[in-house]
Amino acid sequence: MKKIDEYQGKKVLVMGFGISGINAAHLLVKLGANVTANDKATPKNNDIVDDLEADGIRVITGDNPISLANEGFDVVVKNPGIPYDNPLVAAFVKQGTPIITEAELGWQIFDGHLVSVTGSNGKTTTTTLTQLMIAENAEHQVKYAGNIGISFSKIAEDLGPDDTLVTELSSFQLLGAPTIHPHIAIITNIFSNHLDYHKTRENYINAKLNITRNQTKDDFLVINWDRDEWQKIAQRSQATIVPFSRLNKSHDGSYVEDGMIYWRGQEVMPTKDIRLIGPQNVENALAAIAAAKLSGVTNDAIKKVLTTFSGVRHRLQYVMEYQERLFYNDSKSTDIEATEVALQGFDRPVILLAGGLDRGYTFERLVPYFKKHVKAMIVFGECKDKMKDAGNQAGVPVVESENAITAVPEAWKLSEPGDVILLSPANASWDQFPSFEVRGDKFIEAVEELTGKKEQ
């Protein structure tokens, strides 16, 4: 951990009691700050408040009182999910109070080698693969943190100058990380996500590009080269560009040619040996390979990881095989693009479980994928009628169900040996579940109840 004194004696407001907010509050106390912690909700677990107060932190819950904007805070550390049009946040913006996220605080105390990953899809898998690959050859600690569910600042406290940290960073986190400076930055892809938060696609792109804002030619931006738009976006960085591509051969980075993965013209391994299924995971592997090779990782270490790693939970996760049916949990597919790539990963008939929060869009884009890959559909949630319309357009049998749990036995009734039963909702979970993780966990529990087996 790097010793810094910029928070000594400063008044700091921490907004949000998530894992990152709680860790940030305790860290700021160590850094000499006078800390107030605020959450709009009242925690059900009193231990959270007791723990904060025991560290000398003033705690305010049950509201974001606008009066806090008049207390002269020097800095606000905001939970990334709190929008900037929140009245209290908007008041701080208007008066010019610096607003950062916990990722910025983590960067300020980090003293090692930083690799950071962002993108619309594939962030967590790419982050995990990159960490595993670098760790295979490392003599020092290699950890991961960030939007992957582990506090950046908490891990950074325990790392030294020779250690490596691979961080997954969301657009929300990057908006509040003005000085973050990874030596290697990865952009997996950019689609149109979170426009309810960012308002426009350009705002969303600009937030993603904060990952490379402070990079120089001595740093590296690893970026997907498979769309012209992403190639143009790369031109906005001052870093050395390292492309990865599943579709376009580029000798400057990692790419696929005739079923073989190459790094700058040298063979690495066949794509068929990657244990993760689907074209999206080839892309994730290519991004991780580029970062790993830039970090000095050997081909043998890369092969070991890619031939053994079976996936991140809820991200096209293999659950089990039962009576010649394969069950997959892709609850993290909360948008159309993610479900598109998930379906392309299977050469068997798919029974698709899909639906969720109605964000106002329709699913005609999925019709060609339904025609090619889907044998039958079980639809649920607020948007089930729209999903059903797309299934009908594709000529696919559609059954309605209450949710992702009740859909499991319905899918089983429609399945035959050799089929895949896939939860890939193409929608957020918030109409029925508090998170995609809960939705995925409940799906797995339903599969276990159906089969009498535990996930593998």
Annotated binding-site residues for ATP read 119-125
Tokens of 163: 């250690």
Annotated binding site, which residues? 119-125
CB 204 within 8 A of CB 155: no
SS3 319: strand
How far apart are alpha carbons 3 and 22 in whole angstroms?
20
Beta bridge partners of 404: none
Q: Please, what's the b/e burial string for 315-340 (b: 16 or more CB within 10 A of its CB; e: otherwise)?
A: bbbbbbebeebbbbbbbbbbbbbbbb
Is residue 56 classed exposed, middle or buried when 0-12, 13-18 and 19+ CB atoms within 10 A define those classes? exposed
Sole residue written with tokens 């705002």:
203
| Chain-centre distance for alpha carbon 249 | 27
Q: What is the 3-state secondary structure (H, E, C) of 155-192?
A: HHHCCCCCCEEEEECCHHHHHCCCCCCCCEEEECCCCC
CA distances from 111 to 159, 253, 422 (A): 7, 28, 42
How far apart are alpha carbons 169 and 147 in whole angstroms?
5
How far apart are alpha carbons 363 and 370 in whole angstroms?
10
DSSP string computed for 137-156: H-SS-EEEEETTTB-HHHHH
